[in-house]
Each structure stands twice: as structure tokens, then as C-alpha cells.
Chains A and B, each alone.
Chain A
Amino acid sequence: MTSKLVTGDGRTHISSSLMRESLVDRRVIAKTNSEREFSILPDVTLVSLGGHSIFDRGKGALLPIADELSAARGKHQMVIGVGGGTRVRHTISIALDLGLPTGGVAQLVGAMEEANAVFLNALLAKHGSIVMQREHFWELPLYLENGMMPIVISVPPYHFWEPPPEEGPMPTHGSDFGLFIHAEVLGMQKIIFVKDEDGLFTKDPKKHSDAKQIKKTTLAKLLTDMPEELILDRLLFTAWKTARHVKKVQIINGLKQGELTRALAGEDVGTVIEKEMTHA
């Protein structure tokens, strides 16, 4: 690619395939497409620990999972994400009662997740965990190369700029979505969500005794028959449609000892959702 300067229409352009083009034009956007996409860290697995489902249950739930994670270190390259749980729900309740704008609410919730990241780091520090701040994004390979377990902030940094939701004032780009994008941009293929249920159900199993577990499904099938109540952010599935790297999202029950270890080893425990890739 040359870097010639082009003038003559009052503007100074740098020669490139997008020079002078409208980046809003679908035909121009399509020119930036290609079959393949470069995978930055393809062999890393993202493991997400639920805030509401795991953290809020305290020691009894968290310590066995911390043990499994430290045992898995060295066998698997992992990035760990954590949710915020009940404090996020309380934050949102108060913030919405006050009438704060959606972006204002989004600005607040990350703090509660960060607190859980610090909790987990305190438990795992002796096994090589480290809380990775966003501005240290490119230090991820350094941590992984040294056998460390980075704990990342789950909620995406949309903050004050959270897009208006389709319905209601509540921010919709939550921590499941944030971790999904984190995995996708780095070219990871697998995400494990550690929750307190055996996976995805046709309805919320906490409220309906007739809810059925979905053991194995594909993204395409799920999108045509989406359960009303979901264990993961709805926007995760929307984003997955256009994603190119994440092949497998697994939801497992972290309250069952050994399930995380089995999932990391590639066993189809819990719910496995796969995307059929159209391109490599």
C-alpha cells in the first residue's frame, strides 16, 4: 500500500482503498470484507464466573471453583471474567429510581464487577492471577506466556455512551456480552460460563419446575427459537451472528464440583451451543 497524498478537491487525502469513500456506504463496507480473519490468541479459553450465581453465594461456591481454576493453570491458557451480582442489581434499582440516563447507569455498574475481580484475585494471587485493567489490554500475551491467569473486567467500556435500549431504560450491553466480545476480538474459540444451573433451559428453572434443559444446540437453532428467559445476555447471541471466531459457548453448573475441570478438558457438560462456521 502506498502512502501518496492526493489533493485537488479542497481536502488532502492519503491514498488508500477507502480514500474519499463514504464509510457509511454498504458497498464500501463490503469491500473491507474477506473470507478469513486473523486470530490473535486462538488457543485461549475464556472462563466467566457468574456474579449473581456464584459470587453472591460466597465461600461455599467460590472456593471449590478457585481450586479447580488453580489446578487447571498450566494445562489450559485461560482468561477469567467475573460478573457483579446482587450489587449490580441494587445499583441499577437505585439509579433508575433516581432517573439517571441509561448511559449514566452503564457508567456505574462496572465498579461492582471490578470489586468481584479483586475478591477473586485475592483468592488466586498465589496461583498467579492478576487483575488486568483495560489499558493493559496488550499485556495479555505477557501474562499468558508466564503462566498467569488474567482476570478481566467483564462489562464492556460503553459507559456514558451506552446505546439506547430497544425497550426500557436498562443498559443491555452487560458482562456476558462484554466477555463474548473480548473473546471474539482476540480470536478465541471457546467460552465457558460458570453459573448455578445446569445450563440453558427452555424457561427460567428457578421459577418453572417444568423447564427443560437444552443440552446441545446451535446458534442458528437458538436464534429461531429463543427462550423468553435467558441465562446469558440476549445481545451476546445477536453479536455472535456476525462473529467470526467464537465457535462454542458452554454454560455449566459451577456448584457441581469437577464440572469446570471437565468443561476445560473439552467434555460436553452443561449446555453446549455451537456456531457452524461459514468461513475459517
Chain B
Amino acid sequence: MLERKRIESQFADSPLTGVGDGEKGGFTYDAVAMMPDVKVVKIGGQSVMDRGRAALFPILEEVAAAKDMYKLLLCCGGGTRARHIYAMASDLELPTGILAALGGYVPRQNARMLQMLLAKHGGIYIMHDDFEKLPLYFRLGCIPIMTGMPPFGYWEKPTENGRIPQHRTDAGVFLSAEVLGCKRAIFVKDEAGLFEDDPKKNPKAKHIPRITASDLLKADLPDMILERVVIEYLVRARSCHELQIVNGLERGMLTRALAGEDVGTLITKA
């Protein structure tokens, strides 16, 4: 057989196709955190952006007041226009990957809106390819703002029993925090996190301040506060071990969350 021109390495003969190639055979892995002090904050689409000025401006005041204390990376959700796109594309029976690519347009618009509003405080719109320039933006005192959508686009996996992409803006926020080595990601929504029932339909629903990812998955609820894949990934995350959901409509909540207070709901790895 024709010989391979190979480079000798730990994995030179590995097929690289399976789970667990990594830590077999005494291989040790000592992870380095890229920028563990960054605060990755999601600004909700339907929950915040679609409410317009009344909801967004007070949150942006909190962001502006906090920006010299923390390295803030803002990520945007989609909202009702994304829902319209998913509804149209499902009606046309297009594949999930097309929905994911199309759904990506809306959070980018929202990120650009945030940038315009935060420009005077150093708001800067960044794309996925700018991720490696984050240290520069923070060094300059900027607030980088990007889409919450991960860059999977056309390469999104087909969804079981439906067409809506599994990885949307919650997933992108979690994965950004995970790769940066941040312990916690903050999700600014219009509810104080998790309740025993839908608080929009049942105002007496009891608030859940803290729950583990495995308990949440065990409950097997038909609906969830964050995208299901995020909770599944949290169980096996290496760095990002806490997802905090706060009510952005309540003044001061984001500020307290940034200060490390356990307001809202915490979904934890263990």
C-alpha cells in the first residue's frame, strides 16, 4: 500500500471519528481559560428588544454604568421577526439549515440596533470572525455587541419532529462563555427566570431560584426557559457552569447580576 506522509503525534493514527479519542491512553488535558473575567450577557429578542424603548433604555443605562467595571460582551436574541421567518420557511417546507441561516439575520439586526444606541459608550458591532479581537475591544474600553446565534447556519443539524433550529441565540451565548472560560452566562429576559408554571398565564406560579441542569432535564417539561440543547450541554461543560436568568424589566437586576448576586434563577451544572 502507498505509504502515508505522516507527522508523528499523539493522534497520528487516530481515526478521529469517535467519542473519547481525547482522554484515552493516559492522555491528560489541562484546560486554559481564554478570558475568564468576561461577562457574557444576552439581551432577549422577544422578551426585551420587541418591547422597544420602554424595556431597552433602562437596561442600556445599567450597561453604560457597568461598562468600566466589567468586560461586557453583549449578545442579541431574535424575537418576533425570527418567528415570522421560521413560520414562513416551515410553511415552504425548507430544511432546518436554511431556517438557521435565515434566522441569523434578525439577531444581527438587533445587535446593530444596540450598537447604535451604545455607540456613545463604546458599543461596537462585531461578527463571529472578530471574536479573536475581543481583547483589543476590552483594552479600548469598548462594549462588543454580537449576534447570539452561533455561526452554524446551513450546517445546523436537522431537528427531530420539527424544523426550528436547535442551536439559536441561547446556545450561542452559552457556547461563547464556554470557549472564553467564563463560569457564568447572564440571560436578560422579561421574567425572573424559572417558575413552576408559565408566569404569563398563571401570575401565582412559584419562582424557582436555583436548579441543576440534570433536575431540569429529568422534569422533562414540554417547554423550557432556555433552549434544550443548552441545558444538555451544561451537564458536560468544562467552564461555563452557571446560567443566570434575570428580569430585565425590573430595575437594577442586571446590575446586581453583574456584581455576582444570585438574583433571578440559576441553572447550574451540578
Residues of A within 8 A of B23 (CB): 167-169
Q: Which residue of the partner chain B has the closest CB to A91? A: B9
| Interchain CB contact under 8 A, A58 and B84 | no
A210 to chain B, nearest CB (A): 18
> B224 interface residue, CB < 8 Å from A?
yes
Residues of B within 8 A of A21 (CB): 83
Please, how many angstroms separate the alpha-carbon atoms of A52 and B2 in the complex?
A: 12
Residues of A within 8 A of B155 (CB): 156-158, 178, 181-182, 185
| Interchain CB contact under 8 A, B19 and A168 | yes
| Interchain CB contact under 8 A, A30 and B151 | no
| Interchain CB contact under 8 A, A230 and B17 | yes
Size range of the chain A interface in the assembly: 35 or more
Stretch of A99-107, A214-222, A268-276 lying at the B interface: A99-107
Residues of B within 8 A of A167 (CB): 19-20, 22-23
Q: Which residue of the partner chain A has the closest CB to B128? A: A159
Please, how many angstroms separate the alpha-carbon atoms of A17 and B163 in the complex?
A: 13
Residues of A within 8 A of B12 (CB): 86, 89-90, 93
> A224 interface residue, CB < 8 Å from B?
no
> B226 interface residue, CB < 8 Å from A?
yes
Please, how many angstroms separate the alpha-carbon atoms of A20 and B6 in the complex?
A: 55
Please, how many angstroms separate the alpha-carbon atoms of A167 and B19 in the complex?
A: 6
| A32 and B158 in contact, given A10-B54, A167-B20 (Cβ under 8 angstroms) | no
Size range of the chain B interface in the assembly: 35 or more
Interface residues of A in 244-271 (CB under 8 A from B): 244-245, 255
- Identify the interface centre among A159, A161, A168, A206: most chain B CB within 10 Å of its CB: A161
Please, how many angstroms separate the alpha-carbon atoms of A157 and B131 in the complex?
A: 14
| A10 and B51 in contact, given A161-B152, A167-B19 (Cβ under 8 angstroms) | yes
B231 to chain A, nearest CB (A): 10
| A230 and B239 in contact, given A86-B7, A99-B30, A185-B95 (Cβ under 8 angstroms) | no
B interface: dominant SS: loop
Please, how many angstroms separate the alpha-carbon atoms of A102 and B227 in the complex?
A: 21
Please, how many angstroms separate the alpha-carbon atoms of A192 and B31 in the complex?
A: 37
| Interchain CB contact under 8 A, A244 and B95 | yes
Residues of A within 8 A of B86 (CB): 18, 23, 32
B 92-117 binary contact with A (CB < 8 Å = 1; else 0): 11111110000000000000000000
| A165 and B19 in contact, given A3-B84, A101-B181, A184-B97 (Cβ under 8 angstroms) | yes
Residues of A within 8 A of B34 (CB): 101, 104
Stretch of A69-77, A121-129, A231-239 lying at the B interface: A231-239
| Interchain CB contact under 8 A, B7 and A19 | no
Please, how many angstroms separate the alpha-carbon atoms of A37 and B90 in the complex?
A: 9
A residues apposed to B, CB below 8 Å: 1, 3, 10-14, 16-34, 36-38, 40, 52, 56-58, 60-61, 86-90, 92-94, 96-104, 137, 156-170, 172, 174, 176, 178, 181-182, 184-185, 187, 196, 204, 206, 228-234, 239, 241-245, 255
List 30 A-B residue pairs with CB atoms under 8 Å apart, sorted by A's residue number.
A10-B190, A11-B50, A12-B51, A18-B87, A20-B80, A24-B223, A24-B225, A31-B90, A36-B93, A37-B95, A57-B5, A60-B2, A61-B2, A89-B16, A90-B7, A93-B12, A101-B238, A161-B151, A163-B229, A165-B236, A167-B22, A167-B23, A169-B23, A174-B16, A184-B97, A196-B1, A229-B18, A234-B17, A244-B95, A245-B95
B residues apposed to A, CB below 8 Å: 1-7, 9-24, 27, 29-34, 46, 50-52, 54-55, 80-81, 83-84, 86-88, 90-98, 128, 131, 150-164, 167-168, 171-172, 175-176, 178-179, 181, 190, 222-229, 233, 236-239
